[in-house]
Amino acid sequence: MGISSSFLAGAQPAAGAAPDSVTAETKRKLTIFPVASYSPETSFSFGAKGIYVIRPAGSYVRDRPTSYSLTFFYTLKQQIISSLRADIWQNHNRDHWQGTANFNDYPYVFFGIGNKAPESAEENYTSLSWDGFVQYERRVSPKIYVGGRYDFRHEEITETEASGMLAAGVIEGSTGTRASGLGPTLSYDTRNHLYIPGKGAYHQASVQAFGKALGGSTSFNRYTLDFRKYFPAPGRAVVAIQAQVTATSGNVPFQYLAAIGGSTLLRGYLNARYRDRHAEVFQAEYRLPLFWRIGAVAFAAAGKVAPDLSELVPTSLHPAGGLGVRYRLNDEGINLRVDAALSKSMPAVYFSLYEAF
């Protein structure tokens, strides 16, 4: 049986549906599944992901669902990766809360700072960290949300390479960091679906000030502009594009420098493979439903980092691309994402919930 249009439209109301149609009963869905993966940092890892989705009784058909997800991994190098995520919609999409809480005892790779940081600069380190964020936004018009975000991080660097830059202590944050930051957010949201939009846009601007007055160990600022657009394409496909710019100022620990690489920004490079004061990333995906709950994705991306904003021009970009498979876990449209990416640095495979953007 061919996949229904809900792969792209999910629980959105059909054309002509009454906007005040009400859910008679509370709907809940819990999905738990095991995951095994491999990465150069962790070797083989084993764990599980779970997602709980709820639509309270009295919800309008157009209301976005609330979801909670939990991830736990244990690696053959005896590391722990755990994350709790909440995405809460209230008062018929008027109030939006979201946040994460993470605990990781995890190996990372540091290549230094700059857009030309060489592979030969690679050094391994292990971080023991608690981190997360809480964000609240209030809808002030049909398309605009205004709110604020609080971020925190407490990190200890427990292992470094004796001859590396981190062991020498020449990099801000090389022994760990304590960060606490707060600032405003402004969002423009016309997506027709929360998890798998088929059309519309999502743009967000945020500013965060981190400082000792909030309990941090150093003072710095981060500024982010994130632009996303979704277009219908022939054959029930969707083209999704994203452009993101991150800038920093002040005494920034290396953990909070603008970075590219990882499972959502420039797949195909190690997490934070390139870091500097500022960064830009451009991404595009072609998302095609195939059959039943299965879909396919082709993606391409490019990005760079720079010490000065004037250097964020579309030259010396690091390219990457790949293919992916999607499995729709529930009727709300939440996907299990499996991506295989290739870059000039390395091949990589990613397992995750939700789309990359």
Three-state SS for 303-324 is EEEECCHHHCCCCCCEEEEEEE
List, in order, residues 6 or more apart from 166 with CB less than 8 Å away: 110, 123, 125, 157, 160, 174
Of residues 254 and 351, more confidently modeled: 254
- Summarised one tens digit per residue, pLDDT across range 43-101 is 678 899 999 999 999 999 889 999 999 999 898 877 888 999 999 999 999 999 999 99
- pLDDT at 17 exceeding the cut of 70: no
pLDDT surpasses 80 at 38: no
Average pLDDT, integer, range 202-228: 97
- Taking the C-alpha atoms of residue 147 and residue 56, their distance in angstroms, rounded to an integer, is 24
Tokens representing 108 are 């990372």
- Summarize the confidence of residues 39-46 as an average pLDDT: 71
Predicted local distance difference test score (pLDDT) of residue 284: 98
What is the reported pLDDT for 19?
A: 53
Instruction: Give the model's pLDDT for residue 37.
Output: 73
Residue 10 has pLDDT above 50, yes or no: no
pLDDT of residue 198 exceeding 70, the answer is yes
Per-residue pLDDT at 14 exceeds 50: no
Helices and strands in the chain: count of H runs, count of E runs: 2, 18
Residue 167 has pLDDT above 70, yes or no: yes
Higher-confidence position of 6 and 274: 274
> Average pLDDT, stretch 18-35?
81
pLDDT at 20: 59
The band of 7, judged by pLDDT with boundaries at 50, 70 and 90, is very low
Lowest mean pLDDT among 39-43, 170-174, 191-195, 235-239: 39-43
Confidence of residue 18 (pLDDT cuts 50, 70, 90): very low
Closest to 135 in 3D by CA, of 91, 193, 186:
186
Mean pLDDT calculated for residue range 317-345: 94
Contacts (Cβ under 8 Å, ≥6 apart) of 150: 133, 134, 135, 180, 181, 182
Bridging pattern class, strands 123-139 and 144-159? antiparallel
For residue 80, the cross-strand partners are: 74, 105
The whole-number average pLDDT for the span 205-209 is 98
Residue 312 tokens read as: 């964020």
- The alpha-helical segments, DSSP class H, found in the chain are 6-9, 165-168
Average pLDDT, the chain: 91
Q: What is the pLDDT of residue 16?
A: 36
